[in-house]
Amino acid sequence: MSQSKVSRRLTQGMAPELLEHIYRPRLAGELVAAFPYFAALNGAHLVMLAKQGILTPATASRIAAALRRMEAEGPGAIEPDPALEDAYFNIEARLIALTDADTGGRLHIGRSRNDLSASLDRLRARDTLLDLLEAANSLRRILLERGAGFAEVVMPGYTHLQPAQPITFGFYLAGLASALARDAGRLLDGWKRLNLSPMGAAALATTGFPIDRALTARLLGFDGVLEHGLDCVASRDFAVELTAAAAQLALTLSRFAQDMFVSVTHEFAAVEFPDSVCGTSSIMPQKKNPVVLEHLKAKAAHVVAAFASAGGCIRGSHFTNTLDAHREGLAMVWPGLLEARRALALAGIAAATVEPNAPLLLARARANHSTATDLADLLVRRGGMDFRTAHHVAGAVVRALMDRGLGAHEASLEIVDAASQQEAGRASGLSAEEVAEAMDPVRSVASRSIPGGPAPAEVRRMVAAMTTALEGDEAQARAWRAALQAATEERSRALAELAGGG
């Protein structure tokens, strides 16, 4: 058996099974995904080593020129070799090939694959968090804008998928935006724990070289240094936290999709989607299938599975650098987070294109007895009843209407008084006009104007307040993007100066 390509401690080359089932499949997806992050990490580390005098100017210049060339070439210039284990050793091998072993090998002074891997995972998670946050903010804006536009489209509100009380379609969309604000808030809150640099922890016990951890952190756009060396390499809680936040976000989107999936059925016909977001059947010519909603519903399962996978792998690992926690533990995290991003894109299409069937929704809200609570409230206010007795009277009215095949809007004073006599032992004390107003869903919605209610003016007030909060979240995301860009530019300038401008 041949000698190991990466260690003189190991006297044998890698077993074919390890190449086939671990390193070859890992390298196939890792090299391209990790390359830009390794470029950033290598550049920042080199600038720091040169500034600290740990490398001679000549050595630093040669390495800088090689790193700039590698970045220009991209990962395609590297022939993947699974016998080198992973992306890091493949990238280092390319650096050494462009310089020499004595020069290229010096870049690894004061660091380890352990702190590199932890830092790379944070860089990748940071980009993913920003992508998710920006997509969530975009969806929030769509929901808020359309919520304001549909603030007067009265519809039945449902609990247990049964008619409950009248609301508006705009109220429903604004409610989703409210939930998404919390989902975005979890991403925002995670940033302060995520955007810290592990570089300098080395394997776990830091290094005896006089490195400058703060400088490396700044050049990578981190807000600061995660100090404890062991914690730096042992922990991937930031990735688990991000995946948990993404899972909750995906669950919100899945519930929206489920609502729309039912609403767009022929039987409900409550909303409609354009043909551009639907599919058809290979055999049934009449079919218009809501494919965007079916895929959106399922995406949450993938994100939740990613969270469960990470937790399962990390659960039995030691508190140090381990492959079960950090390689296997994050194996499903990255594709799971990608599914969350896709879910946001699909939800954006659905939210932007859905059209409520306003006349049908209003007719149903008038007929489906969802104004019964308003009648009970009226019996309390105008009829002098306690609420429980009023509840019984209103329930008896609904029963009488159902027995006669009548909708709520067809309730008469005679029916109400008969129910009141039956349940309260006296007439309701209401007028026919008051009964008609109580059973009107438009008036029902308008009466609910306290904070959080579905009255059109209140919906628009909430939308305005949520839009202001959204603008703050959007500004924060832009600021973080700008800070990362500034760090990239500083790092690039420093690397160019080291390379002599070449």
> For the segment 234-272, what is each residue's pLDDT rounded down to a tens digit?
999 999 999 999 999 999 999 999 999 999 999 999 999
**Alpha carbon distance 338, 306 (integer Å):** 11
Q: 3-class SS at 342? A: helix
Q: 3-class SS at 224? A: strand
**Alpha carbon distance 213, 200 (integer Å):** 6
**Alpha carbon distance 281, 356 (integer Å):** 24
CB of 299 within 8 A of CB of 343? yes
Quote the DSSP letter at residue 154.
E
* Whether residue 165 has pLDDT greater than 50: yes
Match domain 125-149+166-355 to its CATH number in 1.10.1740.10, 1.10.230.10, 1.20.200.10, 2.60.40.4070: 1.20.200.10
CB atoms within 10 A of CB 192: 10
CB of 336 within 8 A of CB of 302? yes
Q: Identity (one letter) of the amino acid at 326?
A: H
Residue tagged 């969350």 (tokens): 340
Q: Domain 372-439: give its CATH code.
A: 1.10.40
* Whether residue 150 has pLDDT greater than 70: yes
**Alpha carbon distance 144, 215 (integer Å):** 42
**Alpha carbon distance 361, 373 (integer Å):** 19
Please state the rounded mean pLDDT for residues 182-202.
Answer: 98
Point out the residues that are catalytic: 160, 281
pLDDT at 142: 98
Confidence of residue 82 (pLDDT cuts 50, 70, 90): confident
In the chain, the percentage of residues whose pLDDT exceeds 70 is 97
Mean pLDDT of the chain: 95
Please state the rounded mean pLDDT for residues 5-20.
Answer: 69
**Alpha carbon distance 194, 204 (integer Å):** 19
Q: Where are the domains of the chain?
A: 16-109, 125-149+166-355, 372-439
Instruction: List, in order, residues 6 or more apart from 367 with CB less than 8 Å away.
Output: 407, 408, 409, 410
Q: What sign for the dihedral angle of Cα 170, 172, 175, 179?
A: negative
Quote the DSSP letter at residue 289.
B
Report CA 251 to chain centroid distance, whole Å: 9
Q: Domain 16-109: give its CATH code.
A: 1.10.275.10
* Whether residue 14 has pLDDT greater than 90: no
Confidence of residue 5 (pLDDT cuts 50, 70, 90): low
What confidence tens digit (pLDDT) does each residue in 402-450 have?
999 999 999 999 999 999 999 999 999 999 999 999 999 999 999 999 9
Report CA 115 to chain centroid distance, whole Å: 27
Among the residue ranges 8-22, 199-213, 214-228, the one predicted with the least confidence is: 8-22
**Alpha carbon distance 416, 394 (integer Å):** 8
pLDDT at 30: 86
* Whether residue 169 has pLDDT greater than 80: yes
- Backbone torsions φ then ψ of 164, nearest 5 degrees: -115, -75
355-356 and 271-272 strand pairing: antiparallel
Tokens of 23: 């390193």
- Name the more confident of 85 and 170: 170
pLDDT at 21: 64
Q: Which helix (H) or strand (E) holds 422?
A: helix 413-424
Report CA 304 to chain centroid distance, whole Å: 12
**Alpha carbon distance 454, 438 (integer Å):** 16
**Alpha carbon distance 94, 81 (integer Å):** 11
Q: 3-class SS at 271? A: strand
Please state the rounded mean pLDDT for residues 473-493.
Answer: 98
Q: Directed axis angle between helix 387-403 and helix 413-424, to 10°?
A: 130
**pTM for this model (two decimals):** 0.94
pLDDT at 296: 97
Query: What are the start-end ranges of the E strands in 224-372?
Result: 224-225, 271-272, 355-356
224-225 and 196-197 strand pairing: parallel
pLDDT at 8: 61
